[in-house]
Amino acid sequence: MSFSTSETAPNTFTQDIVDLQLNVLDREVFVVTGVNLDILPPDAIPATDTRVRASLSTVSRTTIGDLADNNVIASARDDIRAAGFVDSGVGFSTMFGESPAVGMEFLAIIATNDFAVQIEGNANNGAKAVTGKLYGFRATAEAATFAALTQSELLSQ
C-alpha cells in the first residue's frame, strides 16, 4: 500500500491517517512484512542545522515517534549539520524498520482499520514530505487474538 504525507507549512508536525479497509467483522488484520519511508531531504542552509523526521504508527500520534514507542512500526530521519560552517554542512540519514530482521516473519500486526504517517521538519525554508510503501498481507485472527491485538493498539495511544 502506497502513501504520501506533506507538511501543511514548513517545520509543522503533520499527520495523515491511511485507511486499510480491513473487515473488522471478520476479524481481519494486516500483517506488516516491510516498510519503506522516503523523506525529502532537509534544506542546506549555511550555519544552520536542519532536519526532517517521519514515522509510521499503528495509531494517531501528536509527535513524531521513534522505535522506543510501542505503536511505531518505522521511523526515518535526515539531518544536515551546518552550525558553525559557512557552507551547507554535512548530511546524515537514519532509517529504521524497512524490513524484518533475519528469522522474523513480520514487523507488526495492525488490527485496527488504519495506520498513521507523521512528518516534521526543523529549521527548513520549505515544507517537507514523506512517501512510502507498507508491505504485508491480510489475515484472519481468531476472536481472542483479534480482541487482544485491538485492545493493545488502542491502549498504546
User: Range of 119's domain?
Assistant: 2-155
* Residue 33 pLDDT > 60: yes
Band of the pLDDT at 153, cuts 50, 70, 90?
confident
Name residue 89's amino acid: G
Of 105, 111, 106, 108, nearest in space to 26 by CA: 111
pLDDT for 115 = 97
Q: In angstroms, how far is the first alpha carbon of the chain from the final one?
A: 23
pLDDT for 85 = 74
Alpha-helical (H) ranges within the chain are: 143-155
SS3 of residue 146 by DSSP: helix
Residue range 106-137, pLDDT digits in tens: 889 999 999 999 999 999 999 999 999 999 99
Stronger pLDDT, 101 or 153, i.e. the higher one: 153
* Residue 103 pLDDT > 90: no
The number of distinct structural domains making up the chain is 1
Q: What percent of the chain has pLDDT over 70?
A: 90
DSSP string across 74-118: EEEEEEEE-TT-SS--EEEEEEE-SSPPTT-S-SEEE-SSEEEEE
Whole-number average pLDDT of the chain: 90
Whether the Cβ atoms of residue 53 and residue 65 lie closer than 8 Å to each other: no
CA distances from 154 to 17, 61, 63, 106, 110 (A): 15, 12, 17, 20, 11
- Best mean pLDDT range from 34-38, 44-48, 88-92, 98-102: 34-38
* Residue 93 pLDDT > 80: no
Chain-centre distance of CA 19, in angstroms?
Answer: 14
